[in-house]
Amino acid sequence: CSAISQVVISYNTQIEAIAGINREICADTVLLTATAPQFGYGYWQVVTGSGIIDDTTQAATQVSGLIQGVNVFKWTVINGTCSDSSNVVVFVKDPSDCNDELEMPTGFTPNDDGKNDVFFIKGLNDYPDNVLVIYNRWGNKVYEKSGYTNDWKGVNDSGELLPEGTYFVIFKVRSINKILTNYVDIRR
């Protein structure tokens, strides 16, 4: 004679949702960067404000259509019957508070010595939707780049080195409808 009995052992591990750090930005788009769960899955939700989330199931996802002021997003992680949530606040600044943050140089030395080799616009990271246009002293456009990322090394659109001299710069920020103009001296 024999007897059989089953025992069910449930072991739940503590899970933690980490939505990322709160941010203050000047654009109407942001990249949310939560910590992806080791087990289970996670998803994003808009709590307050607005935003169109590209992929609600990805820990790192782009959000567009943010409103000025406070936008709160919730990252929820679920593993079986366990769940945890965390919020991240994205504060979109008033455009007038952002204009002073951009600062263009009036000169740089693209000679590959590791110092001052690129045309570096201070505060550029808050304005990914931009266009940089460079004109020579005769008014001919010599360089243009949409989505400029502080990487111009004094070359024309064909990648050829521009001669030393003074050039006219137009920097357009589409997200706040702002145009900055200046000159820049290239010295090698």
Whether the predicted pLDDT of 44 surpasses 60: yes
Report residue 147's pLDDT band, with 50, 70 and 90 as the boundaries. very high
| 4 pLDDT tier (thresholds 50, 70, 90) | confident
- In DSSP notation, 18-56 reads -----EEESSS-EEEEPPPPSSSEEEEEEEES--EES-T
Q: State residue 9's pLDDT score.
A: 67
Q: Tell me the mean pLDDT in the region 154-172.
A: 96
Say how far apart CA 113 and CA 150 lie, in whole Å. 17
Beta strand pairing status for 178-186 and 107-108? parallel
pLDDT, tens digit (0-9, with 9 covering 90-100), for 56-71: 999 999 999 999 999 9
* pTM of the model as a whole: 0.53
Q: How many CB atoms lie within 10 A of CB 137?
A: 10
Does residue 101 register a pLDDT over 90?
no
Indicate the pLDDT class of residue 124, thresholds 50, 70 and 90: confident
